[in-house]
Amino acid sequence: MKKFISLIIILLLSLSLAACDTAGQTEKTEQPMTSEQGLKKTAREERVLRMDGDNLGYPSVFTSSPKGRGYLLVSFTFDTLVWKDETGVIPLIAKDWSISDDNKTYTFNLNENIKFTDGTPLTAEDVKFSFDYLKEHPYQWVSVAPVEQVTAVDEKTVQIVLNEVYVPFVTDIAGNVPIMPKHIWENVTEPEKFNTKEAIVGSGPLILESYDKESGVYIYNANKDYFMGEVQIDKLIMSSVKNTKEALVADEIDMASNVKYGEAMKLKEENSKYKVIEGPGLWVGRLYFNFGIEELNIKEVRQAMYYAINRDELVQKALKGAAEVGNPGHIHPTSEWYSSDIKNYDYDTETAIELLTSVGITDTNENGIVEYNGKDLSYEFIVPEEQVPLAELITKYLGDIGIKLEVKAMDQNTIASLIKEGKFTLAFNGHGSFGGDPVLLKGFVSEETAASTPQVTTQGGQNWHNEEFNTIFNQQIVELDREKRYELVGKLQNIISDELPTLTLYYKKSISAYNPEVFDGWFFTKDGVSLAVPTIHNKLIFVRGQWNK
């Protein structure tokens, strides 16, 4: 027994000496970490989320792209009074608000602990300044024309008085005016040229670290003092990639929002590692008319074109099922404002030809092209480069009724500019911001109106003019009774479906794919982010999401 105890003691002493020796060796061999090792260690510890994206300019208020995704980059750093999530409008800078009996005065109470990213408290004076500044310097994303006066009642209370009742004020104006720090912007006289570090000081969940103008790479860091809570990532990197599906599978990005519909569906079938999330089709593909062309002012011509286009086949062949067939009344059929009491246009070339004949448009010289007052209905048809297959189908459809199109492809920004300037005859283009409040129908109003919509949705060219439409639009924008307003909006859709100021061809489906093993909790926003932007990039995800890596 004594020998056994002695052996145990010797063994314990040996182990103790070995441990001390190992500790000594560790202490002796530990060297200061090199900068490269430090970077590697930081990279492993940082929660870096990588997403695809587009080059949309410097992400400050007046220097970003007028497109919806350009505004979203701004929203990462600049908050608004209210915002939207998957259920609808929620408080943001304003913790609550009240509305006066006459529905023209809104009083917002601000959260107490909000600071701009330079450490300056956000107050009611900043809110007042931001609204006043946008009145003096018109903003391409949202108009504050309905606002008469803004008053900072005290440090955390702001009162906004409207010129007239404006039903979508909270969602479409209060929810989209970026609140800018007065102490930075008050001396900025040319905001479209303001692109310094000070220009991106906001109160949002992210802080811009860098933007590469040439490559379009954006790097954002978390706002460690964000008032809504801890931001669930440390860094966001957004960059353009050639093939988003391949980049996702190769682990080059964690979220692919520009993935093609078919590729996303295939990925969903083939690899359970990735999640695919589909949202509403708040992006519309439209045929635009220049109403400066005499015969295009004849509604029977436009109706004949709509009858001649096989929209079901168009969606299947040109879009591979990645869209829903367009509605003649323009508003998406899933919208709570949609009315089924509209004129329908099922594919019917015979009816199309009869309509043309009824207004004296026939092929008198038998050259295959119909004529109006001796002039062939032959038009240049401008389309974005990626939409040539769709344009070729439309060319065939209209050729079947004697209307000849010559397709001219160009980049989408050029198309948008030509439409806006009216330098076109027929054009195809599309845009988001196509959901939510029926204020989106402002694009068909041919007179001044207080309604606020992004410039990207406007009609362009010499506009279609309909007095009845103008009158009803202005009535519904101030109608507080929802049922009465629904009836008025239904009448607007009925007029659109009969007059066809545009041919609504399809609604593009929104789809994204991502790796939930890195980051999860993505959602699509009810009625789209901000002014109905059809994307998954709601900044709330950076606070509500779950980092899983």
Which amino acid is residue 303, in one-letter code? Answer: Q
Tell me: pLDDT of 23 over 70. Answer: no
Q: Return all residues near 314 (Cβ < 8 A) that are at least 6 apart.
A: 390, 393, 394, 505, 506
- Interval 67-112: pLDDT, tens: 888 999 999 999 999 999 999 999 999 999 999 999 999 999 999 9
Say what the pLDDT of residue 270 is.
86
Tell me: pLDDT of 448 over 80. Answer: no
Tell me: pLDDT of 277 over 50. Answer: yes
Burial grade of 198 (CB within 10 A; 0-12, 13-18, 19 or more) = middle
Tell me: pLDDT of 35 over 90. Answer: no
Tell me: pLDDT of 295 over 50. Answer: yes
Pairing of strands 48-52, 235-239: parallel
Say what the pLDDT of residue 26 is.
32
Instruction: Judge whether 109 and 93 are in contact, CB under 8 Å.
Output: no
Say what the pLDDT of residue 66 is.
84
Nearest to 468 by CA among 439, 445, 438, 440: 445
Q: Return all residues near 210 (Cβ < 8 A) that are at least 6 apart.
A: 217, 218, 219
Domain ranges of the chain: 51-253, 280-509
pLDDT band at 420 (very low <50, low <70, confident <90, very high): confident
pTM (two decimals): 0.82
* Residue located via tokens 């001390």: 20
Average pLDDT over the chain, rounded to an integer: 88
Instruction: Judge whether 203 and 224 are in contact, CB under 8 Å.
Output: no
51-253 architecture in CATH? 3-Layer(aba) Sandwich (3.40)
Work out the average pLDDT over 51-62.
Answer: 95
Q: Return all residues near 53 (Cβ < 8 A) that are at least 6 apart.
A: 69, 216, 218, 238, 239, 240, 257, 258
More confident: 530 or 178: 178
Say what the pLDDT of residue 5 is.
39
- Interval 203-215: pLDDT, tens: 999 999 999 999 9
More confident: 32 or 346: 346
- Interval 473-525: pLDDT, tens: 999 999 999 999 999 999 999 999 999 999 999 999 889 999 999 999 999 99
What is the rounded (10 degree) CA torsion for 191, 197, 202, 205?
140
Work out the average pLDDT over 423-444.
Answer: 86
pLDDT band at 458 (very low <50, low <70, confident <90, very high): very low
- Interval 306-333: pLDDT, tens: 999 999 999 999 998 889 999 999 999 8
Say what the pLDDT of residue 452 is.
58
Tell me: pLDDT of 19 over 60. Answer: no
Work out the average pLDDT over 515-538.
Answer: 90
User: Which pair of structure tokens corresponds to residue 439?
Assistant: 């204020």
Q: Please state, in angstroms and rounded to a whole number, the distance separating the CA atoms of residues 229 and 94.
A: 15
Segment among 5-14, 137-146, 392-401 with least mean pLDDT: 5-14
Q: Please state, in angstroms and rounded to a whole number, the distance separating the CA atoms of residues 305 and 394.
A: 9
Share of the chain above pLDDT 90, in %: 74
- Interval 105-126: pLDDT, tens: 999 999 999 999 999 999 999 9
Say what the pLDDT of residue 41 is.
36
**Gyration radius of the chain's alpha carbons:** 29
Segment among 129-133, 284-288, 367-371, 434-438 with least mean pLDDT: 434-438
Pairing of strands 378-384, 404-410: parallel
SS3 call for 4:
helix
| 528 φψ region: left (φ > 0), alpha (ψ -120 to 50), beta (else) | left
Work out the average pLDDT over 128-132.
Answer: 98
CATH match for 280-509 among 3.10.105.10, 3.40.1190.10, 3.30.70.270, 3.40.50.300: 3.10.105.10
DSSP letter string over 337-348? T--S-S----S-
pLDDT band at 450 (very low <50, low <70, confident <90, very high): low
More confident: 387 or 8: 387
Segment among 274-283, 304-313, 446-455 with least mean pLDDT: 446-455
Say what the pLDDT of residue 257 is.
92
Domains 51-253 and 280-509 agree in fold: no
Say what the pLDDT of residue 427 is.
95
